[in-house]
Structure 1
């Protein structure tokens, strides 16, 4: 009996290693993220209505068969606006994460490899930026640049650079002590070649995991800016703007804000769980 249990344990372990991506904790958030991508790229698959269509005969209708998420104060279909707002929110989230990643790689690499005096200044700059909440930094950028989707993207991205820079700096400090970097130095390769070919590619591998989580965080930050009136300008369909549309109707029509808020929360949770799961697989060696 003990031999059978041992064989079963080995088979189960091998199967878990062979199919690490089939875990239920990963499939559900991954499926939800794919659903978001589909809604962002082809919203016509999900609704035949236009997001800005006003129907005065359907003002503040509760959720039902004709309007799955109900209608708002102008008679617009909330589900349709959520579907069309997916592209706006994901573009901001992905774009902001891309800006934060590129800025973090540049700043973090310089903070690890620059001359000593510059290194100290950059490290202090990263520490100062990390001392401020990201949303506060985003508000400062919005105050300078103004409102709008592009400015919101820039504000959220620039406010997240310091977190990525800290991770990249710590990774660069580890990678530059590795054997292949010392071997490249011994062969006389130019410093910039070593940085570009050896240090940066190996130091930025964990960024994929952080960026997956960062997209969800960026979507949440952009929604918060739009909710307080400093993000995307109405009547553009964007998740944070949809939340702001219903804040004056929470007593009479809570679905205007509640259902878009549920989508925002589910999206952030799915992306965070997906990133955490990838982190676990990366640590176990199932992801190379």
Structure 2
């Protein structure tokens, strides 16, 4: 019995120690995964990538929010909201009654997350007139669940008539994509899609000697690629086929635009490739 008791005691101690070792290994594995998330592919663990420090091209906007300390962070937002409500009611007493009961925009706007490119502001639209989804560098990818969900809702449920993809010059996403360095994930993964656009059009871009003009051209090409990605989505194709027999033209219409931050001008660019079959008359909007 004493031998059996000793054996059981040893077994219990061994199992306890084994659990401790497994727990330690699991914790180490989780720590390694957390660190590796911030290390660029191919980089050694001893040299973790540092996230880029991007500086805004504008320090402040006259008449805008000015938050100087932690205590100031929230208060100005609510004060500005009160003034906005008062201004809206003074101009249109029924404004919020309509806004609270109807949501039927005809435009879905895919734009940049840049704070200088607010869709409603630059086209003079009121709240409720444009359904908006924004991300860095206005990239359209079929595995972007956020954008795909918004687009599906816009096309299938709101039945928008127009989809606008809007880029802008002086785009930070374009600028950092042109840098040679790797950035920390997930930023590196995201901007790699802009770099893919560059590679696809390298013959055109490399022929432009001026760097700023090259960036501007890449902005336009990136918008055009996003428009083509929108056009090829099953959600959009199905809607175009469905509306073709019932209307003068298939909807939604897809438009490529670029915003000039230095002048406020919004210009339209042609995105539909020459020579490509055009069963839904997309090229008509470019004439």
TM-score (norm 2): 0.23
Report the structure, 1 or 2, having the larger strand content.
Answer: 2
Larger Rg: 2
Which structure exhibits the higher relative contact order, with contacts defined as CA atoms closer than 8 Å and separated by 6 or more residues?
A: 1
TM-score (norm 1): 0.23
Report the structure, 1 or 2, having the larger helix content.
Answer: 1
